[in-house]
C-alpha cells in the first residue's frame, strides 16, 4: 500500500489535483449519461408516466407510445439466453478450472476468449445467413402436433425469438464462464483437499467448491444476464423487429436496444424521440442495477484473492 | 522499458501520428472553397438513382462530394430539421406541422418518379400475380392469411397457389415508401384508413419489419411465402417478382416507366407551387396506382451558402442531364412541366 | 455398491462438462468457418483499394471503411488513454480515498452500459450541439467505452508494482509525481499497454455507438469533422440488403474485422504472457 507523505507539499497537491481531475471526468461522464438520458426523455415521462411500461401500443402516427413489447422482448430473449448458456458456461468453467489436464487449459481458455472476441456484428451476419435459415428448417421439421403448441407456433420465418436467444447465449457463454472460472479459483485449495481426504469423488469435490462459491457463481451468471440485456446488433438482425408480445419461440419480436438502433435517427416528433430515449434510460438503469448486484455477489465471495488479472480476463468478455 | 513495450508504443504513436496528419491533409472545409463535402440523409426509395447521380456528379466535378445516406424518409426529415445534415430526402412530403417545426422554410424538390410494388417469394409460382387494392388491404390487415385463399385465386386463374401462410414484410423504420403504400391503401379501403392510417411509421396489425427498402427486399428474398412492398428498382435489381395492381379504371397494371408516367400525368398538369402532391390511385386507363414523386428537401435560407450553391448546381444537373440515368435504372423521369417549374423554384434558395 | 454409484455419477458429470466445452466450440467453429470461407472468396485487391460502387452495381470495395474504422478507433484511443491511465493512477495512489472508490464504481458502471445507450448519449452531446455527424463523435463514443477497461487495468497493475520501487524513488528525494511517472508507471507499462490493446480489440468491433455518431460516408474521408465510413457499419448496411454482391462484401468485411480484432487480441496475449514471466521472475 502506498504511504501518505507526512505533509502535503505543493507538488503533491498538483499531482493529486491533476490525476484527480481525470477521475472526476470519468465520474462526470457516467453522471452525464444519466442526466442526459433523463433530460431527453422528460416529455415522454411526463406524458405517459407509468403507463408507458404497461401499454402495448407503439404507434408513432397517433403519438401513442407503450414500451411493454420491448421490455417483454428484452427479458424473454435474455432469460432464454441465460437458460441455454448457464449450464454450458458452468460446465466449461468447471472443466477448465477443475478437470482439464494442464496442457489443455491454455488452449481452452484461448478458445473461449476467441468466442468473446468475435464482434457482435459478425455474429449478426452469421445469424442472418446461417442460423436463421437453420432455425427455419428446424421449424419446418417440427411435427404438426407440436406446431399447435403456442410455444412453437407461427409461420417458419427463421428470424424470431429463438434465433435471437441462441445468438445471445453464444455471446454470453464466454463471459459467464470466464468470471465463474475466476470465482472458482478463489475457493481455497484446502477445501478441495479436505473433501478428497474424506473420500469424495471428483464431482462431489466440485459440488463442494461450487457450493462454497455459490454467491460468486450467481454473480457471474447475473453479469452474463446484464450483457445479454444490452446486446444490440446481433439481436436486431435476427429477431424480426416486430413489436408484439408472443410466447412462441418462432415469433418475431423486438427488444429495447433493437428499437433504439432502428428508430432513433428518424423519430420525427419530439415525443417520439423522448419515448425512445426513455427506453434507453430504462435500459441504462436496469443494466446498472444488474451489474451492481452481480458485482456485489462476486466480491462478497472472497475479495480480490487470486485474480490479479481478473480485470484483464473480464475485459475480454465485458462488452455489450 | 523493455524492447517489446518500446515497439508497441512506437507503433501506436506512429499510427496515431499518421492518422492525425492524414486527417489534416484530408480536410476540405476550410480551403479556398473549391472542394466540398455535403451530407444528406433520407429515403431509401430513390437510393439507387441518388447513389448513381452523386457518383456521376463526383466524376464530373471531383471536388464535390455529396454523401447521401439512405436511412428512411423519417430519418431524412428528422436530420434535416435538427440540421445535422444539409439536405433531406423523402417520398412523403412534410406535413404542415413538420414544416412549422423546422427552423426555416423548406423547399420540396421532386427528383424522379417511382413506384411501390408488392413483391413476393413463392417458389412454384413464376407467373406474375394480380392483386386488387382491397385484396392488398385485407392481406395487410391480416384478414387474408394464406396464399391459396380464394380472394387471391379469384384474380389469378390458372396459377397454382401453395397452401402457405402469407408473411407480410413491412418497414421497421420511418419510411416514405410506407407512406405511399399506406396512402394508396387508405384511399381504397376505409377500414385500412381507420385502423392503420397513412404515415411513415405505422402500427401494422401483422407482419415482420425490415430496415429500409433494402431490408424489406432482403427479407422477402429470404423468406418463402412472404409479401412485402418495395420500390420498383429494388425488385428489378434483385430479380424479385412483383405483382400487378388493379388501378381505378379496373385494369391490372404492372409498374413500368410508362405506367408511372401516366400516373403522374394529372398531377403534372396541375402541380401546386410547393410540389407537395400525392399521385396514388389516380384516374387513367394505364396509370399504375401506387406511384409517387420523391423529393429532395432543402432550406431556402441555409447557413452555408457555398454548399447551397453546390446543391443548386447539382439539382439543375439532375433535372436535366441526370434524368436519363433514372430511366436506365427504372425510375420515370419527371414531366417537362414539373422540371420547368422546379428550375424556377430553385432560384428561391439563397446562394449568396 | 454406493461407492460405485457415486463414481459413476462423477464420471457422468465429468463427461457432461467436457461435452459442454465441445458444445460451445461448435458455434465458434461454425462462425469462423463461414467467415473464413465466405470471406476469403470475396477478398480481392479491389476490396482494399476501391470505394463502394453505386447501388446495384457489382464491384467496388471497402477501402474507405477500413481506413475509417482505424481512424475512429485511433481517435477513441487518443481520448481514452489519458483519461483511463490518469484515473487509474489516481485510484491506485489514493486507493483508500472516497474519490477512488467512487471512480472505481463509475468505471465498473460505465463498463456495463449498453453500447447503444452510449451512442444515444454521444449523439446528444457531440452531434446535436454541433449539428454535424463527425468521425470525432464516433471516436468519443468508442473512447467512452474504452475508458473503464484502461482505467481498471492501469489501477490493478500499478498496485502490483512492488512497494520497494516506490520507497527507493522517494528515498532518493523524488516527489510523488516523479516517482509515479518515472518509476512506477514504467514498471507497469507492459501491462498497461496490454490493457490498451485489449480495449482496442474490444472496441474495434463495435457498431451500435457509431450508428448515430460517425454516421457513414460514401466517399473516402479522413476528416475528423465529417461523417466517416466504418467497417462495422458498412457490414451492417450490406448484410441487411438484398444485393448478393453486397453480401459477399459483408463477409469479406467480417473477415477483415475479425482479423483486426484477433491481431490486437494476440498482441495483448503476447504482452500478458511476457508480463507474467516478468512478474514471476521477481
- What's the pLDDT tens digit per position in A16-37? 999 999 999 999 999 999 999 9
Report the residue of chain A nearest B207, measured CA to CA: A242
Within 8 A of A241 by CB-CB distance, chain B residues are 172, 208-211
Positive or negative CA dihedral for B284, B288, B290, B294? Answer: negative
Closest partner CB to B82 (pick from C131, C217, C219): C131
Q: Using the beta-carbon criterion (under 8 Å), do C176 and A11 form an inter-chain contact?
A: yes
Q: Which domain holds residue A120?
A: 40-317
Mutate to test the interface with C, among B42, B55, B104, B232 (most CBs of C within 10 A): B55
Residues of chain B contacting residue A58, judged by C-beta atoms under 8 Å apart: 203
Q: DSSP labels for A158-227?
A: S-SHHHHHHHHHHHHHHHHHHHHHHHHHTS-HHHHHHHHHTT--HHHHHHHHHHHTHHHHHHHHHHHHHH
Q: What is the CATH number of the domain that holds A263?
A: 1.10.3720.10
pLDDT at B15: 60
- Please check whether residue C78 touches B, CB under 8 A: yes
Q: Is the pLDDT of residue B183 over 80?
A: yes
The C-alpha of C17 sits at a distance from chain A's nearest C-alpha, in angstroms, of 4
Given an 8 Å threshold on Cβ–Cβ distance, is A240 in contact with B223?
no
Per-residue cell: A76: 424473454
Of A57, A159, A268, the CB nearest to B200: A268
Average pLDDT, chain A: 86
Could you name the CATH architecture of C60-281? Orthogonal Bundle (1.10)
- Inter-chain Cβ pairs, chain B and chain C, closer than 8 A: 124
Under the phi-then-psi rule, with left for phi > 0, alpha for psi from -120 to 50, and beta for the rest, what region is C15? alpha
Strand order in the sheet with B244-246: B130-131, B244-246, B252-253
Q: Is the pLDDT of residue A316 over 50?
A: no
pLDDT at C50 over 90: no
DSSP element (H, E) containing B38: strand B36-42
Residues in chain B with CB shorter than 8 Å from the CB of C74 are 15-16, 19
| pLDDT value of residue C157 | 87
Between helix A189-197 and helix A202-212 the angle, nearest 10°, is 140
Q: Which of residues 257-286 of A touch C (CB under 8 A)?
A: 257, 260-261, 264-265, 277, 280, 283-284
Average pLDDT over residues B1-18: 59
Assess A188–B contact: CB distance below 8 Å, yes or no: no
Q: Angle A113-A119-A124 (CA atoms, 0-180°, nearest 5)?
A: 125
C223 touches chain B (CB under 8 A): yes
**Nearest chain A residue to B167, by CA:** A155
Evaluate if residue A304 carries a pLDDT over 50.
Answer: no
| Sign of torsion over alpha carbons B139, B145, B147, B149 | negative
Using CA coordinates, name the residue in chain C closest to B236. C56
Task: Please list every residue in chain C whose beta carbon sits closer than 8 Å to the beta carbon of residue B55.
Answer: 53-54, 218
Q: How many CB pairs under 8 A join A and C?
A: 303
Answer whether C125 sits within 8 Å of A1, measured CB to CB.
no
Residues with Cβ < 8 Å from B59, sequence gap 6 or more? none
Q: Determine contact, residues C146/C200, Cβ cutoff 8 Å.
A: yes
Q: Please tell me if residue A56 touches chain B, with a CB cutoff of 8 Å.
A: no
Question: Does position A297 have pLDDT exceeding 60, yes or no?
Answer: yes
User: With an 8 Å Cβ cutoff, is B89 touching chain A?
Assistant: no
Q: How confident is the model at residue B32 (pLDDT cuts 50, 70, 90)?
A: very low
Mean pLDDT of chain C: 89
| Most confident of the ranges A49-53, A162-166, B159-163, C166-170 | A162-166
Chain C within 8 Å of B17 (Cβ-Cβ)? no
Looking up cell 427506453 gives: A279
* Residue A29 in contact with partner chain C when CB distance is under 8 A: yes
**B23/C223 touch (CB, cutoff 8 Å), yes or no:** yes
Segment A197-208 shows an average pLDDT of 86
Residue ranges of B 204-233 with Cβ closer than 8 A to chain C? 210-212, 214-215, 217-218, 220-221, 233
Taking the C-alpha atoms of residue B127 and residue B162, their distance in angstroms, rounded to an integer, is 13
Give the mean pLDDT of C123-127.
91
Which of the residue ranges A63-72, A176-185, A302-311, C114-123 would you say has the lowest mean pLDDT?
A302-311
User: Domain map of chain C by residue range?
Assistant: 60-281
Closest CA to B90 of B309, B214, B281, B275: B275
Are B29 and C218 inside 8 Å of each other by CB?
no
Counted domains in chain A? 1
Using a CB-CB cut-off of 8 Å, the residues of chain B touching C197 are: 8
Using CB atoms, which residue from C27, C250, C261 is nearest to A170?
C27
Q: Taking a C-beta distance cutoff of 8 angstroms, is the pair B145, B259 a contact? A: no
- Cα-trace Rg, chain B: 23
C54-75 pLDDT, tens digit per residue, is 887 878 888 899 999 999 999 9
Which H or E element spans position A104? helix A102-117
Contact C149 A115 (CB under 8 A): no
Smallest Cβ–Cβ distance between C226 and the set B37, B55, B237 belongs to B37
- pLDDT tens per residue, range C235-269: 999 998 888 889 999 999 999 999 999 888 888 87
Kindly state whether C273 is in contact with chain A, defined as any CB-CB distance less than 8 angstroms.
no
User: Which positions in chain A touch C86 (Cβ < 8 Å)?
Assistant: 18-19, 21-23
CB of B101 within 8 A of CB of B139? no
For C191-219, what is the mean pLDDT?
A: 90
Contact B21, C207 (CB under 8 A): no
CB contact at 8 A, C14 and A99? yes
Q: Which chains touch B (3 or more CB pairs under 8 A)?
A: A, C
Angle (CA) A127-C55-B111 rounded to 5° is 130
What Rg do the C-alpha atoms of chain A give, in angstroms? 23
Residue A6 has pLDDT above 80, yes or no: no
Q: How far is B54 from chain C (nearest CA, A)?
A: 9
- Assigned domain for A213 exists: yes
What digits encode the pLDDT tens for the residues B242-271? 999 999 999 999 999 999 999 998 888 888
Band of the pLDDT at B75, cuts 50, 70, 90?
confident
The answer to whether the Cβ–Cβ distance between A122 and C258 falls below 8 Å is yes
List chains adjacent to chain A, taking adjacency as at least 3 C-beta pairs closer than 8 Å.
Answer: B, C
Residue C184 — very low, low, confident or very high, per pLDDT cuts 50/70/90?
confident
Of C78, C182, C226, C242, which to mutate for an interface test with B (greatest number of B Cβ within 10 Å)?
A: C242
Q: Is the pLDDT of residue B30 over 50?
A: no
Starting at the edge strand found earlier in the chain, the sheet holding B208-210 runs: B64-70, B36-42, B87-90, B291-299, B106-120, B226-231, B167-171, B208-210
pLDDT at B33 (0 to 100): 42
Taking the CA atoms of residue C60, residue C64, residue C69 and residue C72 in that order, the dihedral angle to the nearest 10 degrees is -160
Residue B234 and residue C223: Cβ atoms within 8 Å? no
Average pLDDT over residues B89-111: 92
- Which of the residues C3, C7, C17 would you substitute to probe the A interface, choosing the one with the greatest number of A C-beta atoms within 10 Å? C17
ipTM of the complex: 0.91
pLDDT of residue C44: 84
Helices (H), chain C: 2-42, 45-49, 63-93, 98-112, 115-122, 135-160, 163-171, 176-179, 185-203, 208-211, 231-239, 244-281
pLDDT band at B23; cut points 50, 70, 90? very low
Contacts with B221 from chain C: Cβ below 8 Å: 242
Which residue from A21, A22, A320 is facing C115, i.e. has the nearest CB? A320
Alpha-carbon Rg for chain C, nearest whole angstrom, is 23
Among B74, B83, B172, B217, the residue to mutate for chain A (most A Cβ within 10 A) = B172
Task: List subunits contacting chain C, requiring 3 or more Cβ pairs under 8 Å.
Answer: A, B
C15 Cβ contact partners less than 8 Å away, ≥ 6 residues apart: none
Q: Quickly state the pLDDT bin for C281 (edges 50, 70, 90).
A: low
**Cell numbers at C192, concatenated:** 498497461
Across the interface, of B8, B67, B329, the residue whose CB is closest to C217 is B67
pLDDT at B22 over 80: no
Q: Which of C17, C239, C265 sits opposite A117 (nearest CB)?
A: C265
Whether residue A263 contacts residue B173, with contact meaning beta carbons closer than 8 Å, is answered with yes
Q: What percent of chain A has pLDDT over 90?
A: 43
Nearest CA distance, C113 vs chain B (angstrom): 25
Predicted confidence (pLDDT) at residue B115 exceeds the cutoff of 80: yes
Average of per-residue pLDDT across A285-312: 71
Under DSSP, is residue B295 helix (H, G, I), strand (E, B) or coil?
strand
Consecutive H or E run containing B113: strand B106-120
Q: Binning pLDDT at 50, 70 and 90, where does residue B300 land?
A: very high
Coil, strand or helix: which one is A88?
helix
- Cβ pair A158, A133 in contact under 8 A: yes
Between A and B, how many CB-CB pairs are < 8 A?
80
* pLDDT surpasses 70 at B5: no
Q: What average pLDDT does this structure show over A226-234?
A: 93
Amino acid at each position: 500500500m502506498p504511504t501518505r507523505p507526512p505533509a502535503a507539499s505543493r507538488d503533491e497537491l498538483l499531482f493529486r489535483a491533476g490525476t484527480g481531475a481525470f477521475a472526476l471526468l470519468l465520474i462526470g461522464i457516467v453522471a452525464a449519461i444519466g442526466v442526459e438520458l433523463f433530460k431527453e426523455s422528460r416529455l415522454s415521462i411526463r406524458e405517459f408516466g407509468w403507463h408507458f411500461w404497461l401499454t402495448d401500443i407503439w404507434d408513432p402516427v397517433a403519438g401513442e407510445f407503450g414500451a411493454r413489447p420491448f421490455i417483454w422482448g428484452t427479458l424473454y430473449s435474455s432469460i432464454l439466453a441465460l437458460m441455454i448458456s448457464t449450464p454450458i458456461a458452468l460446465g466449461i468453467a468447471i472443466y477448465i478450472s477443475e478437470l482439464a489436464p494442464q496442457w489443455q487449459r491454455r488452449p481452452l481458455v484461448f478458445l473461449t476468449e476467441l468466442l468473446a472476441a468475435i464482434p457482435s456484428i459478425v455474429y449478426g451476419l452469421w445469424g442472418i445467413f446461417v442460423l436463421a435459415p437453420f432455425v427455419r428448417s428446424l421449424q419446418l421439421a417440427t411435427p404438426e402436433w407440436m406446431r399447435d403448441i403456442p410455444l412453437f407456433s407461427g409461420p417458419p420465418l427463421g428470424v424470431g425469438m429463438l434465433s435471437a436467444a441462441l445468438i445471445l447465449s453464444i455471446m454470453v457463454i464466454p463471459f459467464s464462464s470466464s468470471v465463474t472460472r475466476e470465482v472458482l479459483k478463489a475457493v481455497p485449495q484446502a477445501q478441495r483437499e479436505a473433501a478428497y481426504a474424506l473420500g469424495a469423488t471428483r464431482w462431489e469435490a466440485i459440488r463442494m467448491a461450487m457450493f462454497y462459491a455459490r454467491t460468486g457463481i450467481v454473480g457471474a451468471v447475473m453479469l452474463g444476464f446484464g450483457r445479454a440485456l444490452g446486446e444490440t446488433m446481433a439481436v436486431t438482425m435476427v429477431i424480426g423487429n416486430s413489436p408484439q408480445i408472443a410466447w412462441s419461440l418462432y415469433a418475431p419480436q423486438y427488444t429495447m436496444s433493437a428499437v433504439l438502433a432502428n428508430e432513433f435517427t428518424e423519430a420525427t416528433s419530439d415525443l417520439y424521440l423522448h419515448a425512445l430515449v426513455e427506453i434507453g434510460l430504462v435500459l441504462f438503469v436496469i443494466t446498472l442495477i444488474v451489474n451492481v448486484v452481480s458485482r456485489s455477489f462476486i466480491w462478497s465471495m472472497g475479495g480480490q484473492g487470486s485474480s490479479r488479472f481478473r480485470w484483464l480476463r473480464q475485459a475480454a468478455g465485458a462488452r455489450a | 522499458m523493455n524492447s517489446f513495450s518500446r515497439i508497441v508504443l512506437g507503433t501506436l504513436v506512429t499510427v496515431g501520428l499518421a492518422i492525425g496528419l492524414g486527417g489534416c491533409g484530408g480536410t476540405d472545409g476550410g480551403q479556398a472553397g473549391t472542394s466540398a463535402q455535403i451530407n444528406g440523409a433520407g429515403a431509401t426509395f430513390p437510393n439507387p438513382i441518388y447513389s448513381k447521380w452523386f457518383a456521376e456528379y463526383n466524376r464530373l466535378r471531383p471536388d464535390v462530394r455529396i454523401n447521401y445516406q439512405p436511412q428512411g424518409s423519417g430519418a431524412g426529415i428528422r436530420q434535416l430539421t435538427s440540421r445535422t445534415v444539409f439536405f433531406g430526402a423523402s417520398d412523403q412530403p412534410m406535413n404542415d406541422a413538420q414544416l412549422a417545426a423546422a427552423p426555416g422554410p423548406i423547399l420540396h424538390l421532386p427528383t424522379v418518379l417511382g413506384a411501390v410494388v408488392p413483391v413476393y417469394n413463392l417458389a412454384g409460382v413464376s407467373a406474375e400475380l394480380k392483386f386488387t387494392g382491397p385484396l392488398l388491404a385485407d392481406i395487410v390487415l391480416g384478414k387474408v392469411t394464406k396464399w391459396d385463399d380464394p380472394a387471391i385465386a379469384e384474380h389469378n386463374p390458372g396459377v397454382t397457389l401453395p397452401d402457405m401462410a402469407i408473411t407480410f414484410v413491412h418497414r421497421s423504420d420511418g419510411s416514405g415508401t410506407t407512406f405511399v403504400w399506406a396512402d394508396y391503401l387508405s384511399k381504397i379501403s376505409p377500414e385500412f384508413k381507420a385502423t392503420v392510417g397513412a404515415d411513415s411509421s405505422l402500427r401494422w396489425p401483422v407482419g415482420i419489419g425490415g430496415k429500409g427498402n433494402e431490408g424489406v427486399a432482403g427479407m422477402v428474398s429470404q423468406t418463402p411465402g412472404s409479401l412485402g412492398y418495395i420500390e420498383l428498382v429494388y425488385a428489378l435489381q434483385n430479380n424479385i417478382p412483383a405483382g400487378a395492381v388493379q388501378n381505378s379504371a379496373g385494369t391490372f397494371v404492372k409498374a413500368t416507366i410508362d405506367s408511372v408516367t401516366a400516373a403522374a400525368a394529372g398531377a403534372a398538369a396541375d402541380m401546386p407551387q410547393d410540389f407537395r402532391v400525392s399521385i396514388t390511385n389516380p384516374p387513367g386507363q394505364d396509370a399504375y396506382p401506387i406511384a409517387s414523386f420523391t423529393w429532395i428537401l432543402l432550406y431556402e435560407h441555409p447557413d452555408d451558402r457555398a454548399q447551397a450553391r453546390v446543391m443548386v448546381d447539382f439539382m439543375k444537373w439532375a433535372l436535366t442531364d441526370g434524368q436519363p440515368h433514372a430511366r436506365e435504372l427504372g425510375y420515370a423521369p419527371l414531366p417537362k412541366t414539373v422540371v420547368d417549374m422546379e428550375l424556377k423554384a430553385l432560384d428561391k434558395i439563397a446562394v449568396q | 455398491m454406493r461407492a460405485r454409484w457415486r463414481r459413476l455419477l462423477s464420471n457422468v458429470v465429468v463427461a457432461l462438462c467436457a461435452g459442454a466445452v465441445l458444445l460451445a466450440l461448435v458455434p465458434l467453429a461454425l462462425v469462423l468457418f463461414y467467415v473464413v470461407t465466405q470471406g476469403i472468396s470475396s477478398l480481392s485487391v479491389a476490396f482494399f483499394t476501391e470505394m463502394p460502387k453505386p447501388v446495384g452495381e457489382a464491384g467496388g470495395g471497402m477501402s474507405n471503411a477500413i481506413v475509417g474504422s482505424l481512424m475512429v478507433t485511433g481517435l477513441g484511443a487518443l481520448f481514452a488513454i489519458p483519461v483511463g491511465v490518469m484515473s487509474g493512477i489516481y485510484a491506485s495512489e489514493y486507493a483508500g480515498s472516497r474519490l477512488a472508490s467512487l471512480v472505481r464504481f463509475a468505471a465498473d458502471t460505465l463498463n456495463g452500459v449498453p453500447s447503444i445507450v452510449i451512442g444515444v448519449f454521444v449523439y446528444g452531446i457531440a452531434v446535436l450541439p454541433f449539428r454535424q455527424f463527425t468521425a470525432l463523435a464516433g471516436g468519443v463514443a468508442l473512447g467512452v467505452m474504452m475508458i473503464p477497461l484502461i482505467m481498471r487495468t492501469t489501477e490493478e497493475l500499478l498496485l502490483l508494482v512492488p512497494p520497494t520501487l516506490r520507497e527507493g524513488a522517494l528515498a532518493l528525494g523524488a516527489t510523488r509525481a516523479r516517482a509515479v511517472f518515472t518509476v512506477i508507471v514504467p514498471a507497469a507499462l507492459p501491462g498497461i499497454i496490454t490493457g490498451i490493446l485489449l480495449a482496442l480489440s474490444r472496441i474495434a468491433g463495435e457498431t451500435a455507438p457509431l450508428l448515430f455518431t460517425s454516421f457513414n460516408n460514401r466517399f473516402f474521408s479522413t476528416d475528423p469533422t465529417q461523417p466517416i465510413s466504418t467497417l462495422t457499419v458498412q457490414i451492417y448496411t450490406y448484410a441487411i440488403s438484398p444485393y448478393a454482391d453486397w453480401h459477399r462484401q459483408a463477409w469479406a468485411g467480417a473477415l477483415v474485422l475479425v482479423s483486426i480484432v484477433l491481431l490486437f487480441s494476440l498482441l495483448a496475449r503476447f504482452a500478458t504472457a511476457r508480463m507474467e514471466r516478468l512478474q514471476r521472475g521477481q
